[in-house]
Structure 1
């Protein structure tokens, strides 16, 4: 465990990011403050996803220091990783919902795995989460019965279960049409306005133009802080 500067939720110092044996980003230095909204942009293969995976300890950090939500990622033991992830919300492009379980059971599975025990509190939290993402009453539906945009909303609800300090979103609009992409960004804005920091990898420049925020650009093995797109 390590403590961040008071206003920072993420600190990256002189970090190298690898994908398997390949160095994809080097010498990274940046901070993200509590409640901030930040995009990561860059072409496919420039390291966006690898950076996010390093932040939530899915890829090892071989050089440098990374602090996320009070945890020093490079010092984490394997058994400590779940405690870091309880402080985060992770939103994937490909949803990763369990196809053989309805939406309530998908959310319950994650809640039980992260320490929720009281069935009544679980049911109430699911109701509140689905209301928050504008999907009330879909508890008994299965993922295949939902549109792509609805599935992504469920994924966002899943990411919000434990009231995370920061959401890490990897191309969350990559499989959605422009109208639905805009709806997802409006939802992210609401979440961000409630105080949750968001770090979102994207190559959707229309989203950046409609919802401007600070931008970190991955290119040529480094990250450039563009402040605000473009």
Structure 2
């Protein structure tokens, strides 16, 4: 059944870093297929907000619903089910350095409940092709450039055909030319129907690829005019 319910909604939420409130009374929603930039200075709460939405930080006050899951009441045992419907792209890649590209992706499929080896192999081939990394299937992470590693991370995030990608400064460690290629890749993924919430401070990219903008500033989240 088709539903127009937002893919992310957060209401009257207070976002914490350890025991300190970093964002007060957060209210916004993201619809299916939307592309949203989340901007703000280092320490403004961007990463904490993302971590709360993908249930890495506990939502102590307020409500949030992500791909149908109530985040404030989500049990630890239900986290894997949430993670199957979302994708997370980190600035620092977080690849297993002792496993090749294929093994890194295989681990995610195994961890999220896939069991059919033929389907797993086919899905890995599909996402590596999608991000232009099919030839690197058997390479170790240290044999790849930063941009190539980030493409593998994006492939990893796409494995379970997520409804939304949360990207935390995905171009933070990359040079401008590679950053632009990565942002173009995100836009291709978005055009194919996946919503994206991307934390960034790369204002050149925001100018080149206009989208909805939210800003973390002085403890609140505001809508910015693009």
Same fold (TM over 0.5): yes
Post-superposition shift, 1:78? 1.2
Partner of 1:141: helix, strand, or coil?
coil
Indicate the RMSD between aligned Cα atoms, in angstroms.
Answer: 0.8
Distance 1:63 1:114 in 2: 29
- Structure 1 moving runs of 4+ over 6 Å: none
Partner of 2:59: helix, strand, or coil?
coil
Aligned residue among 130, 145, 148 for 2:143:
145
Post-superposition shift, 1:137? 1.9
Aligned residue among 185, 202, 205 for 1:204:
202
Distance 2:74 2:28 in 1: 20
Aligned residue among 102, 111, 122 for 2:109:
111
- Name the residue aligned to 1:35: 33
Moved more, 14-23 or 118-127: 118-127
- Name the residue aligned to 2:154: 156
Post-superposition shift, 1:127? 0.9
Q: Which runs of no fewer than 5 residues in structure 2 stay unpaired?
A: none
Distance 2:45 2:84 in 1: 24
Post-superposition shift, 1:6? 2.2
Q: Which runs of no fewer than 5 residues in structure 1 stay unpaired?
A: none
- Where does 1:20-99 land on structure 2 (aligned, <5 Å)? 20-99=18-97
Query: Normalising to structure 2: TM-score of the pair?
Result: 0.98
Partner of 1:182: helix, strand, or coil?
helix
Query: Normalising to structure 1: TM-score of the pair?
Result: 0.96
- Name the residue aligned to 2:176: 178
Distance 1:66 1:34 in 2: 16
Post-superposition shift, 1:121? 1.1
- Name the residue aligned to 1:219: 217
Partner of 2:122: helix, strand, or coil?
helix
Contact 1:213/1:227 (<8 A) preserved: no
